[in-house]
């Protein structure tokens, strides 16, 4: 049960981080923002 709770908390935190990244870095081409693909890299790192 503790393992499931831990996974649930981690999943929730990752979801909040992902939503926050999308809000602060909308996927629109903008030279001032991070280069395209940064969000995908973050997702891949989290899932690794």
Q: What is the pLDDT of residues 14-47, one digit of tens each?
A: 998 888 877 776 666 555 555 555 555 555 555 5
- Dihedral sign for Cα 29, 32, 36, 41, please: negative
Residue-level pLDDT at 12: 92
Confirm if 14 and 46 have CB atoms less than 8 A apart: yes
pTM of the model: 0.41
Please report, for the chain, the start and end positions of each structural domain, with discontinuous segments joined by +. Answer: 2-47
């Amino acid at each position: 049960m503790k393992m499931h709770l831990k996974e649930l908390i981690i999943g929730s935190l990752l979801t909040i981080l992902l939503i926050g990244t999308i809000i602060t870095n909308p996927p629109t081409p903008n030279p001032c923002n991070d280069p395209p693909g940064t969000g995908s890299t973050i997702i891949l790192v989290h899932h690794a």
